[in-house]
Amino acid sequence: MTSVIDGKAVAASVLEECRAETAELKARGITPGLAVVLVGEDPASKVYVGSKARTCGDLGIYSRKIELPATTTQEELIAVVEELNADPAIHGILVQSPPPKHIDEEAVVRAIDPRKDVDGFHPENVAKLALEDNTGFVPCTPAGCMRLLAAAGVKTAGAEAVVIGRSMIVGKPMALLLMAKGSDATVTVAHSRSRDLPAICRRADIIVAAVGRPEMVKADWVKDGAVVIDVGINRVDDPTTKKGYRLVGDVAYDEVAPKCAAITPVPGGVGPMTIALLMKNTLQAARQLT
Ligand code: NAD
């Protein structure tokens, strides 16, 4: 029997933890605060920023949405970040990705005070993750994947884990988390230059797919009883839906699911976890800064 890992339910329980932690901080006179900076008019980014602000509001976290025009220069954006760095009401700062092309995203991330870098993308937090120093911030999506594995009762110690994708946002931090002490998996990181990806995946007890290619992972890539975490969010045309598209993961769910011990669906798997872990990171920042 395949167990479908319910990301919405696990995220809801993480958010309940956050609600209690927020109340505790407020009782000590500390209101946690998150600033989200959006440059330009990207419609998907607007939706993400809106839902981050709504989740903050629901938990009692102060949120500040800063919307800047697409013509904002890098210097202007960095000046906004520096103001937020100095603002005691703000504990977490994130600049919604992707910024317009004329902005060097890495330079902006480096301008964020690492103690407020709740996305976990600043080099200091990347280093802390590699060093297994838990005062740093872990990127929200891979942290969410680890929570899903734990919630599903998956034993990672000694397991063969294959992470497909080596991005700084998902693949690399995911590999570090799986190999860290306490998780103790044996990790292979595959990417666009990997030879014979199906054979690599067939070894895996745990597959984490973070590629951005619709339904790439097929049934014959997956061994019986594997656990599959599908991070991919891809739009595919579907004229039968009102919007004209639907969302699919990087895993061919219908054919892969019957072989798995456990699998995350798309949507409703990893997606809801990312925002929940962002709230967790904001509370960690508020605790550490006060
Ligand atoms: P990315 O484009 O930065 O990285 C993709 C990685 O996949 C690269 O390392 C590349 O080497 C690898 N890759 C590309 N083609 C490949 C192939 N044919 N075979 C093997 N590896 C291949 O993407 P990302 O930011 O890591 O995101 C990956 C996916 O996860 C996207 O669909 C994105 O939308 C989704 N995502 C979801 C969440 C969430 O909250 N659920 C968060 C972040 C990203």
Decide: 140 in ligand 1 pocket, CB within 6 A.
no
* Ligand 1 neighbourhood includes 139 CB (under 6 angstroms): no
C-alpha to C-alpha distances, 90 to 50, 120, 179, 243, 290, nearest whole angstrom: 18, 16, 33, 37, 11
Separation in Å, CA 73 to CA 47, 76, 233: 23, 5, 30
Ligand 1 mean position to 247 CA, how many Å? 15
Q: At what angle do helices 43-59 and 7-27 cross, to 10 degrees?
A: 50
Q: Which residue in the list 117, 119, 205, 230 is annotated as catalytic?
A: 119
Model pLDDT for residues 9-40, shown as the tens digit of each residue:
999 999 999 999 999 999 999 999 999 999 99
Residue 259 annotated in active site:
no
- Kindly state if the Cβ of 165 falls inside 6 Å of ligand 1: yes
Does residue 144 line the site of ligand 1, with CB under 6 A? no
Q: Is 52 assigned a catalytic role? A: yes
* Identity of the residue numbered 83: E
3-state secondary structure of 118: coil
pLDDT in tens, 89-139: 999 999 999 999 999 999 999 999 999 999 999 999 999 999 999 999 999
Give the confidence band of 233 by pLDDT, cuts at 50, 70, 90. Answer: very high
| Cα separation, 187 vs 268, whole angstroms | 26
Tens of pLDDT, residue by residue over 163-201, are 999 999 999 999 999 999 999 999 999 999 999 999 999
SS3 104: coil
CA 69 – ligand 1 centroid, Å: 28
CA 130, CA 107: separation in Å to the nearest integer? 21
Confidence grade of residue 209 (pLDDT, cut at 50, 70, 90):
very high
Residue among 121, 167, 215, 245 whose CB has most ligand 1 atoms within 8 A, to mutate: 167
Distance, CA 21 to ligand 1 centroid (Å)?
32
Q: Which of 170, 208, 264 to mutate to test the pocket of ligand 1 (most atoms within 8 A of CB)?
A: 170
Q: Looking at residues 263-290, what average pLDDT do you find?
A: 98
pTM of the predicted protein model: 0.97
Residue 289 vs residues 135, 192, 278, 284: alpha-carbon distances, Å: 11, 40, 16, 9
* Whether residue 162 has its Cβ less than 6 Å from ligand 1: no
Residue 161 Cβ inside 6 Å of ligand 1? The answer reads: no
Q: What is the pLDDT of residue 143?
A: 98
| Residue to mutate, 47, 188, 191, ligand 1, most ligand atoms under 8 Å from C-beta | 191
User: Which atom of ligand 1 is found nearest the CA of 249?
Assistant: 32
74 catalytic? Reply is: no
Going by C-alpha positions, the residue among 204, 218, 112 that lies closest to residue 161 is 204
141 lines ligand 1 (CB under 6 A): yes
CA distance 196 to 251: 17
Report CA(271)–ligand 1 centroid distance (Å). Answer: 13
User: What pLDDT is recorded for position 239?
Assistant: 97
Q: How many angstroms is it from 209 CA to the middle of ligand 1? A: 8
